[in-house]
C-alpha cells in the first residue's frame, strides 16, 4: 500500500508518462554508462570559482572512527567499516563537532564494487581507483570538493601511485563537470552496467574516440581586440 501511495504521489508531481518511465528503470530494467576518466597526481588543478567553506579537519578513515559518519551519513557506517577493514585508503573531513561532512576512497588493487554497481574495476601498476566521494549538502559547490581529492591524491602518492582513475555516470552532469574542473581526461572507454528486475546484472566494456564531454566544457572567452594606436 505504501508503494502504491508513493506511486500516486509521483504521478501527481511528474505526470503519468514520466512516472511510468521512472518505475520501469527502477523495477524492470536500467542501463548505466560509466565513463572512465584519469589524470596525473602532480599537474595543478585548473582555476575555479568554487565557494570557500568553514574549517574542517582531514583524517584517515579507520575501523575505529566510523561512528563519526552517524549524523550525515548514518546509512554508510558499516560500508565504511568494511572498506577500511579491507585495506582501502579512505579520507574524511570532519566539522568542528567531529561529524563527517565529506569522504572519499582509493584502491591500489582491482576493486570489486559489491555495494553499488556490482562489477570489477581493474587497476594497473602505478595507478589507483578513486571511488565513493561524497559531500554533505551544506558543502556542495565549495572548494572542499577539490581539497578532499587532493588529500586522497597525496595519500596515494605516498604509496607509490602517479595516476588516479575513476568512473562517472554519463547522466550525472554535476559529477562530470567536477571531473573537467579537476583536469581529468577521458580514457575513451565505457563500462556498461545492465540490471534486470533489480536482481540480475550484466556488464560489458566499449571504446570510443573523440570526446563525450565537449558539450559540458565552458567556451573560452573571446579574445578582446587590440587597442588602436
Q: Dump pLDDT digits (tens) for 148-199.
A: 999 999 999 999 999 999 999 999 999 999 999 999 999 999 999 999 987 7
Does residue 22 fall inside a structural domain?
no
Question: Can you give the pLDDT at residue 225?
Answer: 44
Which pLDDT score is estimated for 27?
A: 63
Cα(24)–Cα(175) distance, rounded to whole angstroms? Answer: 24
pLDDT (mean) for 92-103:
98
Q: Is residue 99 part of a domain?
A: yes
> Is 114 part of any domain?
yes
In a domain, 55, yes or no: yes
Q: For residue 173, give the CATH number of its domain.
A: 3.40.630.30
The reply to whether 229 falls in a domain is no
Q: How confident is the model at residue 139 (pLDDT cuts 50, 70, 90)?
A: very high
Range of the domain at 33: 29-209
Domain count, the chain: 1
pLDDT number for residue 29: 83
Q: How far is CA 210 from CA 1, 32, 33, 101, 214, in A?
A: 49, 20, 17, 36, 9
Q: Is the pLDDT of residue 10 over 80?
A: no
Residue 7 pLDDT: 45
Average pLDDT, the chain: 88
Specify if 225 maps to a domain.
no
- Give pTM, 2 decimals: 0.83
* Eight-class DSSP state of 68: G
Say if 83 falls within a structural domain: yes
User: Is position 24 within any domain?
Assistant: no
Q: Which pLDDT does position 24 carry in this prediction?
A: 45
Q: How far apart are CA 59 and CA 93, in angstroms?
A: 6
Give the C-alpha separation, 195 to 203, whole Å: 9
Amino acid at each position: 500500500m505504501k508503494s502504491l501511495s508513493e506511486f500516486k504521489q509521483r504521478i501527481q508531481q511528474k505526470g503519468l508518462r514520466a512516472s511510468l518511465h521512472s518505475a520501469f528503470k527502477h523495477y524492470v530494467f536500467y542501463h548505466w554508462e560509466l565513463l572512465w576518466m584519469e589524470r596525473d597526481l602532480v599537474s595543478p588543478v585548473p582555476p575555479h570559482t568554487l565557494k570557500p567553506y568553514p574549517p574542517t579537519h582531514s583524517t584517515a578513515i579507520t575501523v575505529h572512527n566510523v561512528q563519526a559518519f552517524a549524523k550525515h551519513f548514518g546509512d554508510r557506517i558499516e560500508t565504511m567499516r568494511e572498506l577500511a577493514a579491507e585495506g582501502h585508503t579512505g579520507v574524511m573531513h570532519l566539522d568542528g563537532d567531529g561529524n563527517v561532512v565529506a569522504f572519499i576512497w582509493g584502491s591500489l588493487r582491482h576493486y570489486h564494487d559489491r555495494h553499488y554497481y556490482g562489477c570489477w574495476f581493474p587497476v594497473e601498476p602505478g595507478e589507483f581507483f578513486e571511488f565513493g566521494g561524497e559531500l554533505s549538502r551544506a558543502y556542495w559547490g565549495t572548494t572542499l570538493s577539490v581539497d578532499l581529492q587532493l588529500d586522497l591524491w597525496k595519500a596515494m602518492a605516498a604509496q607509490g601511485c602517479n595516476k588516479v582513475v575513476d568512473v562517472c555516470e554519463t547522466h550525472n552532469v554535476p559529477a562530470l563537470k567536477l571531473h573537467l574542473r579537476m583536469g581529468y581526461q577521458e580514457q575513451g572507454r565505457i563500462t556498461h552496467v545492465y540490471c534486470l528486475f533489480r536482481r540480475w546484472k550484466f556488464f560489458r566494456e566499449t571504446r570510443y574516440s573523440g570526446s563525450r564531454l565537449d558539450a559540458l566544457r565552458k567556451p573560452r572567452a573571446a579574445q578582446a581586440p587590440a587597442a588602436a594606436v
